[in-house]
Chains A and B, each alone.
Chain A
Amino acid sequence: MAAVRTSSEITFNRVAIVAVLLVTIIFLAPIYWIASTAFKPRNLATTIPPTVVFQPEISPFVKLFTKRSQLRSPPSPEEYAAAPWWERVVFNGGEKIVRDGKGQVQWSGYPSRFMNSLIVAITSTVLAVGMGTFTAYGFSRFKVKGEADLLFFILSTRMLPPVVVAIPMFLMYRAVGLNDSHVGLIILYTAFNLSFSVWLMKGFMDEIPKEYEEAALVDGYTRMEAFFKIVLPEAATGIAATAVFCFITAWNEYAFALIMTSRRAQTAPPFIPSQVGAGLPDWTVIAAGTFLFLLPVAIFTFLLRNHLLRGMSFGAIRK
């Protein structure tokens, strides 16, 4: 902009700043609503006008992790007094925690789905980034016949609609017994993220000056040693960023998980919507489950902020 600013420009700048703040508030409102509903007592979750100020409660999270049933009559004072604090908050909401014959608390389906999400996302990320780093180095440093075509092939596998791939995979998995298994989902997510990690890592590899390795080769390193001792440490930031992207993609994935898993290996994204059944859903519990599920991604987004651009464009656009 011109060095001298007219008063109209300054006014416009102020208006723009106000507009940006307004847009940010609108964009964050749904996320804020999830977070606040996760701490509301059930009767305040669906009020008109919406409840904004309230006494935050932990009960949605207790309910999220346990099996509950409706209380027919209020608990006796002794029962209430003997109950631990987390059971009392459930009593307060007119429900009780289901226990088995030995008095053990029955868990809801959520913790195991959350664990499944962690297992599948972490394993597939490690595999995809590991293989992707090697392949990206190969494409970055050596002459490969038909390189452009191969890279297009690699990218196009990522572009396939999940349902298209899922139909034959479902049949094949059924034939070999991989349906509803961690291994099956890990393979799918690895294949899905591998193409992404090759493209992204190639961009990072291209930025490492090849003179580093050449100097190492002259110093008597083998190519392998040069790769592990010179290139990998230089690529560490890129590897970390790629890994976080792969993790988020696998963590968020829904269609494959919906089709390929039903119970044992089910991840959280198909599980959370399945909890909204007939009747009035308890939105505070759904919000609590959503909140816990979104938390890691929100944290990672802040860590990744400087790499978001290249990650979202397959490394095509760099700052």
Chain B
Amino acid sequence: MATTMITTLDRSSRAAARGLSDISIRNLFIIPTILFLIVFNIFPLIYSLGYSFTDFRASTSAAANFVGLQNYRDLLSDPYVWSNFAITAKYVIISVAGQLLVGFGVAMLLNRDIPLKGLLTTLLLLPMMLSMAVVGLFWKLLYDPSFGIINYALGLGTFEWLSNPKMALYAVALTDIWMWSPFVMLLSLAGLSAVPKHLYEAAAIDRAGPFYTFFRITLPLVAPILMIAVIFRTMEAFKTFDLAYILTSQPTAELISIRLYKMAFQEWQTGRSCALAYIVLIMVLAITNIYVKYLNKVKER
């Protein structure tokens, strides 16, 4: 990581005697933020780590009993929880693959001289800026079997989307693809515009075909930025809660965050939900770690 360090002042100089020293300014600027994040992000996690070893239920006033690793053992041997993880994995793969295809495809189409390109790009980016919960709710009307415009446009009659156990997860993923393909498109466009034009010119002189040009020039050069998009979207899709929770109550579309929410705030199994939260947390941190390592690698170039 490139550190831009300002020339430090000689302690005995007149400049250093004026005002606060650099060290105290640095501490004054950085420490409050770190403290704030520790108090409101890390401390609660320590608090819930404690609860994850108990049978605490927030809905009763009964004292929490220490149960050791029982919650973790129960969760890891619970087939329902595993099926929630499997559903989540399936969801992540479908929606990230869909976003990659649509996003990169549209970026390839957009990567040329098009009248009103700036306006079109901004319009295409609109879905990802909107609230998942509120727009997701409206997709319920679009998916409605009897008067939804999706069935009408595709001529599907009264095809069930959200109340169909087989289709619910795909319908949620489809909405997610609509919302987040623009993100992949945005990153792809940045990657595509950074490919040096002379490479294409050289390929044209060598009479390279479009496929050769795409697989040997475009794709390798855009790959790092696509990778960022994929890891980032994987992380977000893994955490998906809003969209799936609002769109459907099908058990076949019960993602791990929804299971966690129900366990904590509907069944009030507070202790056990804290344990599940920790299992999820470790997974997210692992993906985040990969993401940040990758970001730093790309940044260095």
Identify the A interface with B (CB < 8 A).
1-3, 13, 16-17, 19-21, 23-24, 27-31, 33-34, 37, 46-50, 131-132, 134-135, 137-144, 147-148, 150-157, 159-172, 174, 187-188, 190-191, 194-195, 198, 206, 210, 213-214, 217-218, 220, 222-225, 227, 248, 251-252, 254-255, 259, 268-270, 272-273, 276, 283, 286-287, 290, 293-294, 297-298, 300-302, 305, 308-309, 312-314, 316-317, 319
Interface Cβ pair total, 8 Å cutoff: 308
The reply to whether B264 and A163 contact each other, CB–CB distance below 8 Å, is yes
B-chain residues with CB within 8 Å of residue A34 when the two chains form the complex: 135, 138
Check if A143 sits within 8 Å of B5, measured CB to CB.
yes
Alpha-carbon distance A48/B106, docked complex (angstroms): 31
Q: Tell me whether B109 and A172 are in contact (CB under 8 A).
A: no
CB atoms of B1 and A147 under 8 A apart? yes
Max chain B C-beta neighbours (<10 A), residue from A28, A30, A141, A290:
A30
Interface residues of B in 103-158 (CB under 8 A from A): 106, 109-110, 112-115, 118, 120-135, 137-142, 144, 146-147, 149, 152
Which of these, B15, B33, B135, contacts A194 with CB under 8 Å? B33
List residues 37-84 of chain B with CB under 8 A from any CB of chain A.
37, 40-42, 44-45, 47-48, 51, 58
How far, in Å, is B52 (CB) from chain A's closest CB? Answer: 10
Binds A, one of B92-100, B162-170, B214-222, B280-288: B280-288
Q: Which residues of B contact A160 (CB under 8 A)?
A: 41, 45, 281, 284
> Are B182 and A27 in contact (CB-based, < 8 A)?
yes
> Does B299 sit at the interface, judged by CB under 8 A?
yes
Chain B hits for A218, CB < 8 A? 15
Verify A156–B285 contact, CB threshold 8 A: yes
Bound: A142/B28 CA distance, A: 12
Are the CB atoms of A317 and B228 closer together than 8 Å? yes
Number of interface residues of B (CB under 8 A): 109
Contact indicator A23/B124 (Cβ below 8 Å):
yes
Q: Chain A contacts of B201 at CB under 8 A?
A: 1-3
Which single member of B25, B130, B200, B299 contacts A294 (CB below 8 Å)?
B130
Evaluate whether A290 and B137 lie within 8 angstroms (CB atoms) in the complex, with A298-B126, A301-B126 already known: yes
B234-279 with Cβ < 8 A to chain A: 235, 238-239, 241-242, 246, 257, 260-261, 264-265, 270, 273-274, 277
CA distance A252 to B7 in the complex (A): 42
Quote the shortest CB–CB distance from A173 to chain B (angstroms). Answer: 10
Binary interface encoding of chain B residues 9-31 relative to chain A, with 1 for a CB under 8 A from any of its CBs, else 0: 10000010011101101101110
Please give the distance in Å from A253's CB to the nearest CB on chain B. Answer: 8
* A309 with B135: CB separation less than 8 A: no
Instruction: Give the 5 A-B CB pairs with smallest separation, nearest first.
Output: A222-B19, A138-B29, A254-B133, A168-B44, A252-B131
* In the complex, residue of chain A having the shortest beta-carbon distance to the beta carbon of B15: A217
